[in-house]
Amino acid sequence: MKLFNYKTAISSVAIAAMLTGCAGTTGNQTIDDNQRAIIGATVGALAGVVLGNNIGGGSKSRNKVIGAVAGAAIGGAIGYSMDKQAKEVADSLNTNVNNNPNAALDPNADLIVSNTDTYVKIMFRDDMMFQTNSATPTPSAQAKIAKINSVLQKYPNTLVQVVGHTDNRGSHSYNANLSEQRASNVGNIIYSSGVQNQIFSKGCSFDKPVAPNNNATNMALNRRVEVYLYPNQQSVIDVCK
């Protein structure tokens, strides 16, 4: 009986994660849907080769081929699905998919939909979502959040993670509680619509700013709620780091 090589498999997963993390843009050039699908398939194939190499039974070369084909199919399908969901979410919110890494630094961008090969992210600015020091979304914010539900109903297996972020005014514990309450309330609005998706919420306090908390403009950039859509649990990232 051949033992599974966990060290090799973990290394391949790490490589795949780095590759998919870079799949959104090349410099300032946004990668299109076909390129993203190719990248997803390539990453899947690389992981599949390693996994196929560690499968017992049959020749090693045959297992590599089987693993590569399966991995490419899975990786390509996930990449395509994330592209498709991102476009549908953006359409529902009357905006476009924006994978520019500097988009979050635009003070005029109060809603940004972006995606990688392994998740879709919808970023809502705090100022358009809540009154000052309130954790309850405004009626207009609730209407925007509800628009996502029509897309989620088409993808009941998509995992939903809602994350709150604050600036650094006040204590870390105060902001941790505020960010968690805001994330939870947004998650509850999605849940109460009757979607079948698993929904999780998390508060990051001021641990993950997009800009230095050194002026009012940057602080406003850091106050936000992000909704992540994942195809599976293996794609979930640590959103507070």
Q: What does the mean pLDDT of the chain come to?
A: 79
Cα(26)–Cα(6) distance, integer angstroms? 32
Contacts of residue 168, defined as CB under 8 A and 6 or more positions apart, other chains included, come to: 175, 206, 209, 213, 219, 222
In the block, residue with structure tokens 């600036």: 167
Q: Look up residue 50 and give its amino acid.
A: V
**Distance (Å) of CA 123 to CA 44, 219, 222:** 28, 15, 11
Cα(173)–Cα(119) distance, integer angstroms? 29
In the block, residue with structure tokens 């297992």: 63
Phi/psi for 194 (5° steps) reads 95, 10
Residue 217 pLDDT more than 80? yes
How many Cα atoms are found within 13 Å in the side-chain-facing hemisphere of 24? 20
Q: pLDDT (tens digit, 9 = 90+) per residue, 98-146? A: 999 999 999 999 999 999 999 999 999 988 899 888 899 999 999 999 9
Residue 164 pLDDT more than 90? yes
- Token pair in block for residue 122: 């919808």
Q: What percentage of the chain exceeds 70 in pLDDT?
A: 68
- Token pair in block for residue 111: 């809603």
* pLDDT value of position 145: 93
* pLDDT value of position 13: 43
- How many CB atoms sit inside 10 A of residue 111's CB? 16
* Angle, alpha carbons 188-235-69 (nearest 5°): 140
* pLDDT value of position 128: 87
Q: pLDDT (tens digit, 9 = 90+) per residue, 30-84? A: 445 455 545 455 545 455 555 455 555 556 555 555 454 544 445 556 778 899 9
> Pairing between strand 159-165 and 199-203?
parallel
Q: How many residues does this entry show for the chain?
A: 241
> What mean pLDDT comes out for the span 201-226?
96
Residue 197 pLDDT more than 90? yes
Residue 188 pLDDT more than 70? yes
> What mean pLDDT comes out for the span 142-168?
95
Residue boundaries of the structural domains of the chain: 96-235
In the block, residue with structure tokens 């939909």: 113
Higher confidence at residue 9 or residue 95? 95
Cα(233)–Cα(204) distance, integer angstroms? 20
Which of 79-83, 159-163, 166-170, 220-224 has the weakest average pLDDT?
79-83
In the block, residue with structure tokens 């998740």: 119
Residue 12 pLDDT more than 50? no
Q: Are 115 and 121 in contact (CB under 8 A)?
A: yes
According to CATH, the topology of domain 96-235 is 60s Ribosomal Protein L30; Chain: A; (3.30.1330)
> What mean pLDDT comes out for the span 145-165?
95
Confidence of residue 159 (pLDDT cuts 50, 70, 90): very high
> Pairing between strand 120-125 and 159-165?
unpaired
